[in-house]
Amino acid sequence: MPSATPTSGPRLVLVGPPGAGKSTVAAALAQRWQLEVRDTDADVEATAGKSVSDVFVEDGEPRFRDLERAAVATALVEHDGVLALGGGAVLHDDTRAALRTYQRGGGVVAFLDVSLAHAAPRVGLNQARPLLVGNPRAQWQALMDARRPVYEEVADVRVSTDGLRPVEVAEAIEVALAALRVGEPRA
Question: Number of C-alpha atoms within 13 angstroms, CB side, residue 164?
Answer: 22
Q: For the chain, what is the total number of helices (H) and then of strands (E)?
A: 8, 5
Q: What is the pLDDT of residue 185?
A: 42
φ/ψ bin of 27: left (φ > 0), alpha (ψ from -120 to 50), beta (otherwise): alpha
Q: What is the pLDDT of residue 124?
A: 53
Q: What is the pLDDT of residue 18?
A: 82
Q: What is the pLDDT of residue 123?
A: 58
User: Quick one: pLDDT band at residue 69, thresholds 50, 70, 90?
Assistant: very high
Domain 12-180 top-level CATH class: alpha beta
24-45 confidence digits (pLDDT tens): 999 999 999 999 999 999 999 9
78-135 confidence digits (pLDDT tens): 999 999 999 899 999 999 999 999 999 999 999 999 876 666 655 554 444 454 455 5
Q: What is the pLDDT of residue 2?
A: 43
121-160 confidence digits (pLDDT tens): 555 544 444 544 555 667 767 878 888 999 999 999 999 9
Cβ neighbors of 11 (< 8 A, separation 6 or more) are 5, 33, 35, 80, 81, 82
